[in-house]
Amino acid sequence: MNGYAGKFLWVNLTEASLREEIPSEGLLRDFIGGYGVGARMLYDRMPPGVDPLGPENILGVLTGPLTGTTAPTATRWTVVGKSPLTGGWGDANGSGYFGVALKKAGYDGLFFTGISECPVYLYLDNGTAELRDASALWGKDTYATEDWIKADLGEDVEGACIGPAGERLSRIAGIIHSKGRAAARSGLGAVMGSKRLKLIAARGELDFSVANKEAEKAARKKYMKEINDGVGASDFYRQTGTPGILTWTIHMGDVPVKNWAGNVTEFPDPDPLEFSELLKFRKKREACYRCGIACWGISSLSYDGTSIEAHQPEFQTSGAFGCLTMNNDYPSLIRANDLCNRYGLDTISAGACVAFAIECYQNGLISREDTGGIELDWGDHQAVNAFLMKIALREDFGDVVADGVKCAAEYLGSAAEPFAVHVGGQELPVHDPRFEPGLGLIYKMDATPGRHTQASQFTVPPGFETDRPAYGDQREQQAGRGHYLKEASVLTHTMNASGVCLFGYASTHVTFIPDYLSAVRGEEFMVEDMMVAGERIANIRQAFNVREGINPVIQQLPGRAYGSPPLEVGPTKGVRVEIDQMTQEYLLDMQWTPDAAIPTREKLEQLGLKDVADDLWGQEDDCE
């Protein structure tokens, strides 16, 4: 159990009962932690076909074996469950301080079932757990909830909570912590809301054992030096964080414009979105728990008569609320980010939903009457933020879009379908497949579709030998590109399951996680083991979706994001993503069936998943 707290907690919210479980060493060894362990647990404990917002859905919250160790950026925790947005496997990744507090409170994983009669919160304190009444917190935004935690439970307590959007079961709701860090994708904030679970609060000083402290110390020295020496993307993350690439990527055509239908030449001047402009509003630089990169910050400004002190927007948030809606006004983007965090919305999906609504309004599919009097126009940031509030509170047409663009397009009819840019129900991040076609494959084939981080944005860390083209390079050569997805995705799965931040992983050599896992767990773990564990995680996530009847091979894709038809102007003009070819290349490497992406029996058995093979393919005939 080195590296682990050694305990799971099951919380039956219908019965208000708690039960501890000791995880098996095999489970932790094979699936590492985080969504790896979460996927195996939910595959085993939840039948297919459950209502994502019903009592049978299991909401899991897990850390990894490196979470809270001395490993640089080891701050991560994961939420898992059946996604109400996609109807399939859902996970989302958080950082900040909560994951470390959860583990030091004595738990590697929490699993919530049932639905509470009244709002509750779970309080964890150094190995003890208690469900408490949260009626007084219900209706509060996430900042007020976090203020209450610090004032009433103590400064040393960390929390992860939902806001009014999650309470209202918005399918684009996330789980917020540290007043602006978020585990936001997959709509799992709605699952938490459906269970009437407002908050998880954790306090802890419990230690977990590390097998080889000398090796851990040596790894800390080695990999912090790499980060400080500028290995991989470390200079970028240390100097600017994600907003630092915004204008460059806009110019390169990596950021979609005007709800994916426009091109960069139509976008207003991107210069006001330079990082130096964001810095003008920065109050302080910030970091997650003991992180030496410190990639984020707090902005302070007045916008539209409102004083704001809030987490600065990340690249994705500014791209979604900026480029998709044709807005280059940074103060308004800081406000949009602030509103999403306060009300508990995924900024990627929320920005996409606002852009969708603008396009519907501009094409006469909705009117001023539907928007509650707001005139939605491209570039009108005040209208954008006003409509964002409609989504957060489920008012007027905001009530419809609060369940995502897929649901909204179904509500409006076929004329709205081209405006709804999603894969499998989840809105796309603002990295454009027409710039890096490999992303189109990730968006289509990951078990949580429409995610850019699930294959480290189609890159691998330094030191992993490969002849892959750099991100966005040689995109005219798409043949063969699908063969690079397996390695990027399985490495990313192990990284996520370990509890390490993607930015630390991209700022060190590929040996970082294996070296640390070896030191902490006390068993030799090599890069090759990282590949196998990641592949096992990929297969159990995919098996979950197969059981739910999801077939990504025949998934309908948004034409405008895949270059069908291609853009006629701009840096990505003429690019059409050869998605079918890349899909087959990836399926061949994964040993998943070419027509339905079902993991083959041979592959599952090779990974030690015979029981899953029997589920998907039926019991083998013993007589043969």
Shortest spacing between CB 497 and ligand SF4, in angstroms: 16
Q: Looking at beta carbons only, is 197 or 246 nearer to ligand SF4?
A: 246
Measure the CA–CA gap between 304 and 306, rounded to whole angstroms.
6
Shortest spacing between CB 185 and ligand SF4, in angstroms: 15
Do the Cβ atoms of 175 and 186 come closer than 8 Å? no
Through-space distance between the first and last CA atoms of the chain, rounded to whole angstroms: 40
Tally the residues of the chain.
624
Residues found near ligand SF4 in the complex (CB under 6 A): 73, 75, 95, 237, 287-288, 291, 293-296, 501, 503-504
Phi then psi for residue 162, to 5 deg, are -105, 160
Q: Looking at beta carbons only, is 42 or 500 nearer to ligand SF4?
A: 500
Shortest spacing between CB 289 and ligand SF4, in angstroms: 8
Pairing of strands 128-133, 282-286: unpaired
Measure the CA–CA gap between 32 and 50, rounded to whole angstroms.
26
Q: What is the DSSP letter of 454?
A: G
Shortest spacing between CB 74 and ligand SF4, in angstroms: 8
Shortest spacing between CB 146 and ligand SF4, in angstroms: 17
Helix, strand and coil in the chain, % to nearest 5 = 45, 15, 45
Shortest spacing between CB 77 and ligand SF4, in angstroms: 11
Q: Looking at beta carbons only, is 291 or 537 nearer to ligand SF4?
A: 291
Q: Looking at beta carbons only, is 64 or 563 nearer to ligand SF4?
A: 64
Query: Strands, E, within 180-303: which ranges?
Result: 181-183, 197-203, 282-286, 296-303
Pairing of strands 120-125, 197-203: parallel
Measure the CA–CA gap between 358 and 295, rounded to whole angstroms.
32
Q: Looking at beta carbons only, is 107 or 503 nearer to ligand SF4?
A: 503
Q: Looking at beta carbons only, is 99 or 552 nearer to ligand SF4?
A: 99
Shortest spacing between CB 599 and ligand SF4, in angstroms: 31
Shortest spacing between CB 455 and ligand SF4, in angstroms: 18
Measure the CA–CA gap between 18 and 12, rounded to whole angstroms.
6
HEC string for 173-212: ECEEECCCEEECHHHHHHHHHHCCEEEEEEECCCCCCCCC
* Closest CA relative to residue 11, chosen from 100, 120, 158, 105: 120
Q: Looking at beta carbons only, is 452 or 475 nearer to ligand SF4?
A: 452
Q: Looking at beta carbons only, is 46 or 501 nearer to ligand SF4?
A: 501
